[in-house]
């Protein structure tokens, strides 16, 4: 992958020095995983940082023998850096929602890269702060209606990872169970809300290609703010 295309795909490298990108692309390893494959277990965090070239993954935790999806991330995002920087244990796993292509860099080389490029250090801190803000937003929504929480979740995923198509912003058709967990909504409520959004024509699901299109982002955004 050319450095320009790579920096456009991964915002973390938007201000990185050219030599940083060249070095990174020369030493990363390419990895591919099928759907429903575990990438990281609780014990394997802290060894590498992973960059998602294509596909979708979920971070899940086992709570009282029940799997709970904590977060869903997609193309252009990365994971594993926090476990390297703070060296604390993780109680989560990373599992693929779809087939996934990744680039990975070892913990030692990731630290080397940060130490060499102050602009990259600053960008990593910015993105980590943004993640904290997003978590705070989700926390503030906990007492709002199920429809608002679910709609906000869909909008965030579309704005963060969605691809522009003729139908609107397209994301992966995330299972209702995972959407329900991330939005903090019951599975029953999630299914009802998704059916209602489809009837209104604001969301369109292509089950054959496993995609979900937000066909009326304006109305969805209005709904999320007004409920």
86 lies in some domain: yes
Q: How remote is the C-alpha of 33 from its chain's centroid?
A: 16
- Which of 102, 127, 152 lies at the terminal end of a domain, its last residue? 127
Paired strand residues for 38: 95
- Do both 58 and 151 map to the same domain? no
Give me the residues paired with residue 63 across strands.
Answer: 66
Does 43 share its domain with 106?
Answer: yes
Give the whole-number percent of the chain exceeding pLDDT 70: 97
Looking at the domain assignment, is residue 132 inside a domain? Answer: no
Same domain, 150 and 48: no
* In the predicted structure, residue 188 carries a pLDDT above the cut 70: yes
Count of C-beta atoms within a 10 Å radius of residue 207: 8
* Rounded (10°) angle between helices 107-116 and 118-140: 110
pLDDT at residue 226 greater than cutoff 70: no
Our CA dihedral for 6, 10, 14, 20, rounded to 10 degrees, sits at -60
Residues 191 and 183 sit within 8 Å (Cβ to Cβ): no
Q: Does the residue 31 lie in any domain? A: yes
CATH of residue 219 = 1.10.10.10
Task: Let me know if residue 136 belongs to a domain.
Answer: no
Our count of domains for the chain comes to 2
Domain that includes residue 164, residue range: 141-226
| In a shared domain, residues 25 and 107 | yes
Quote the tokens at residue 32.
């591919």
The reported pLDDT for the residue numbered 128 is 83
- Give me Rg for the CA atoms of the chain: 18
Poorest-pLDDT segment among 72-76, 132-136, 175-179, 217-221: 132-136
Better-predicted residue by pLDDT, 88 or 42: 42
Three-state SS at 48: strand
Q: By percentage, how much of the chain surpasses pLDDT 90?
A: 66
Q: Residue length, the chain?
A: 227
The average confidence (pLDDT) of the chain is: 90
- Rounded mean pLDDT, 208-214: 96
SS3 168: coil
* Residue 133 belongs to some domain of the structure: no
pLDDT recorded at residue 227: 45
pLDDT value of position 135: 79
Per-residue confidence band for 60, with pLDDT thresholds at 50, 70 and 90: very high
Task: Looking at the structure, tell me whether residues 17 and 90 fall in a common domain.
Answer: yes
- Confirm if 79 and 105 have CB atoms less than 8 A apart: no
Cα 62–chain centre separation: 19
120 and 38 share one domain: yes
Q: What digits encode the pLDDT tens for the residues 13-28?
A: 988 899 999 999 999 9
Mapping DSSP to helix (H, G, I), strand (E, B) and coil, where does residue 104 land?
strand
Q: Are residues 147 and 123 in the same domain?
A: no
């Amino acid at each position: 992958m050319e450095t320009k295309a790579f920096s456009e795909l991964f915002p973390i490298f938007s201000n990185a020095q050219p030599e940083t990108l060249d070095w990174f692309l020369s030493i990363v390893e390419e990895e591919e995983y099928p759907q429903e494959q575990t990438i990281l277990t609780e014990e394997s965090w802290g060894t590498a940082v992973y960059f998602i070239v294509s596909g979708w993954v979920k971070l899940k935790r086992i709570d009282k023998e029940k799997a709970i999806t904590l977060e869903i991330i997609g193309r252009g995002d990365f994971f594993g850096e926090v476990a390297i920087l703070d060296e604390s244990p993780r109680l989560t796993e990373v599992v693929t929602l779809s087939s996934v292509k990744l680039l990975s860099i070892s913990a030692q080389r990731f630290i080397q890269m940060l130490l060499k490029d102050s602009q990259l250090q600053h960008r990593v801190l910015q993105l980590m702060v943004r993640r904290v803000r997003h978590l705070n937003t989700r926390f503030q929504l906990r007492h709002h209606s199920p429809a608002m929480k679910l709609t906000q979740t869909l909008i965030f995923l579309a704005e963060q990872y969605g691809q522009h198509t003729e139908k609107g912003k397209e994301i992966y058709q995330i299972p209702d169970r995972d959407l329900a967990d991330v939005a903090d909504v019951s599975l029953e409520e999630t299914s009802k809300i998704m059916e209602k959004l489809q009837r209104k024509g604001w969301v369109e699901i292509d089950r054959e290609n496993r995609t979900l299109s937000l066909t009326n982002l304006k109305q969805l955004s209005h709904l999320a703010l007004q409920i």
